[in-house]
Amino acid sequence: MNSLRNTARKVNNALTMSVIDLHDKGYTNDFLPMHNQHFLCLQDSLDFAAEDLNIEVIGQEYDQLTNSYKYIHTIEAINGAKGLLVTDAICTKGFLAA
C-alpha cells in the first residue's frame, strides 16, 4: 500500500507544483477554450472573447496521466479575473489568429 501512495505522489508532480504555485500568485480560476476563439471561466460560467483576455504561456510540463506535454497559460480577464488554462496547444492571440 505504501508503494502505491508513493507512486501516486510522484504522478504529475511538476505539473501539479506549477499549478499550485500559480494559485498562490492569485491565478485561481480555470478557463476552458471554446469555439470561435472564446474561453469559458469555469468558476462563474462567464464567456470571454480572446481579445478580452491577456493570455500568456508561462511553461510546459509533462502530464503523466495523458503521456503528453501540456502548455500552462495564465489568463487575466477584463473583469479582473485571473486564472489558468492547461492545454495540449498554445493558446495566445498570435497563435489563435493563425
Q: Which helix or strand (DSSP H or E) is residue 70 part of?
A: strand 68-77
CA distance 33 to 50: 9
Phi-psi region of 67 (alpha: psi -120 to 50; beta: other; left: phi over 0): left
pTM, two decimals, is 0.82
**Residue span of the structural domain in which 27 resides:** 2-97
* Percent of the residues in the chain that have a pLDDT greater than 90, as a whole number: 72
| Number of domain units in the chain | 1
Task: Collect all residues with Cβ–Cβ distance below 8 Å to 14 and sequence separation of at least 6.
Answer: 61, 62
Residues 22-33 pLDDT 10s: 999 999 999 999
- Predicted confidence band at 11 (pLDDT cuts at 50, 70, 90)? low
Helix (H, G, I), strand (E, B) or coil at 1: coil
